[in-house]
Structure 1
């Protein structure tokens, strides 16, 4: 992706979510810049999900339009704004990023609105990546393994967020926060019609305050980063027996080595939650236009605060691969991407009556058309 912002090294280190797309520069001078750009993404998907005893063939996609601009002062300070409306192929209109930012060039910045913070579990070229058990890395669902990836406080929440970040040479620091109702982390139970955790209904919620500090250091071809995320407010999600299941703390470590046409990511994430821990490790590599990755999720359940649910381990193995054909038909920024994944569950629960964690294999393939304008 190409920058339309004149941002500091800190903004480059945050992630691709912090950069803007190629587009039309309407204003670009010493006083500031304003541009309009975006991209089109259209997917043709095939999935075979054994748990649902069904195979699917469908199409999805969206058009993203980006408006981005900054204003500079002679003293080196700036203000900036970005908005990215999404026009989905379903007919819905959504929003990707929408934030306001101010700070000093090549130094510090404060960002508020809707965005994603530093990526603590980069998965490389993930054209198609799903997990057996139907639980994503951002939504907890009873009866499914959780592939935790340090994203519960990363961003794009509905109730707002604010972040401070700054670079000191090769050192980058970030302090992100998320505000408001986070009960959307827990999915609805299909039979009970309400949110559940370990078989108990979540009967009361209140606003959370999540913090997510990040420290990253660059050493030539190597970059390493460490982070944690936790909720500072008590009783944000309480079950029918009075257990606060909003009490969750996660830790993450990631490293990247990039040289020439090769880029390799190694990731570790660990979540300490009520009556369960979730640990994920991942390794992926990108060579020129070919990407390959593996993610292993380990979930350990116990019956301490909430009795009578799962006890033991459930693990998930997921493999994925992708390839990108660039400048198709000699059209610059037009790509065709191929992706596939295979995922399986290993149920090692001590109580065999917990049939919700069924062992099954899922796989899928995707063709993606992508154009950046």
Structure 2
């Protein structure tokens, strides 16, 4: 795939017409532009076995959501465009959430300015992650995920702005993310510059940085510098992603997080592994592996798939905390 195409895809992360035409959905086009509505259903049957402090718990559950995508695109002179997209999530728990809600202006295969709620460039891909969770928890029992260069990637509660630019084989993205912390003098404002280079049709490199411009000692959780790199190699039905991320907290001076990931996708099978390490004076290591297989075209319906997924996560601590989970996912695009 040529990078000018990749750049267009990255800049126009919506591409509503292509996305909904590839699956299902309804589109209407007139002199005002293209309006589309569609979405997908994602429902899961889950089993998880967790071992915490040498005590095991087992949990059977059903979870999932319906995503509705509403998008509008208007093309104007000289390949310029305006785009709007919103994706409400209707969860089986009864909660209502939101994925994307943004407004974008730009020029095809050139530049884009985006504001609202969305995700930036993925610096730590996890591929076909039908079921993926982590065994490391804090004192309250909340899961602590490995650092994966996604804290300032987007979809925060207080908004964001980004600018992207494609030049031949290069793609630049400067994202910003706003956070709120009531205990700090200043709210956190993160910047996230990304540079990607499409070396060949099959090989891509990317590097990025995320930093808090208004670092405040009273907001220690957001006072850090993070950076990372990722490599993707794709040929026919095979894809390989290798990723690295590192974070250094400024206030404590002793807390450092490191993560290394590898993901393989071959046809309908996906396999991934993340090694992570949290150094707070003593090192706590965690290894997490996941796998997934897609059964496509169920009932001869092109937009209906069933995914079989599992994961295993183990922490190298005194209790050897670990998780094992399996999932059956029903996925349908409408």
Q: Name the TM-score, length of structure 2 as normaliser.
A: 0.89
Query: Which residue does 1:260 correspond to in 2?
Result: 236
Matched, 1:298 2:277: yes
- Pair 1:208-2:188 in alignment: yes
SS in 1 for 2:288: strand
Shift of the alpha carbon at 1:359? 2.0
2:323 matched residue in structure 1? 362
Matched, 1:321 2:318: no
**1:188 paired residue number:** none
Matches within 5 A, 1:1-373: 9-13=6-10, 20-21=19-20, 22-28=23-29, 32-51=33-52, 53-134=56-137, 146-181=145-180, 203-204=183-184, 206-218=186-198, 219-235=200-216, 237-238=218-219, 244-273=220-249, 274=252, 275-302=254-281, 312-347=282-317, 358-373=319-334
RMSD: 2.4
> C-alpha displacement at 1:28, in angstroms?
3.3
- How far apart are 1:342 and its partner, in Å? 0.7
Q: Number of paired residues?
A: 321
- The residue that corresponds to 1:306 in the other structure is none
Matched residues in 1 for 2:181 and 2:196: separation?
27
TM-score, with normalisation over the residues of structure 1?
Answer: 0.80
How far apart, in 2, do the equivalents of 1:205 and 1:121 lie? Answer: 32
Q: In the TM superposition, what whole-angstrom CA distance separates every residue of 1:274-315 from its partner, at most 9, and x where no partner exists?
A: 32100000111010000111110011113xxxxxxxxx1000
Where in structure 2 are there 5+ consecutive unaligned residues? none
Unaligned runs of 5+ in 1: 1-6, 184-202, 239-243, 303-311, 348-356
CA–CA distance in structure 1, aligned partners of residues 35 and 5 of structure 2? 17
Q: Distance in 1 between matches of 2:215 and 2:110?
A: 35
Q: Structure 1 residue 235: deviation in Å?
A: 1.7
Q: Contact 1:145/1:299 (CA < 8 Å) preserved in 2?
A: no
Shift of 1:247: 1.3
Alpha-carbon distance in 2 for matches of 1:18, 1:250 = 30
CA distance in 2, matches of 1:17, 1:82: 7
Q: CA deviation at 1:72?
A: 1.2
Structure 2 partner of 1:352 = none
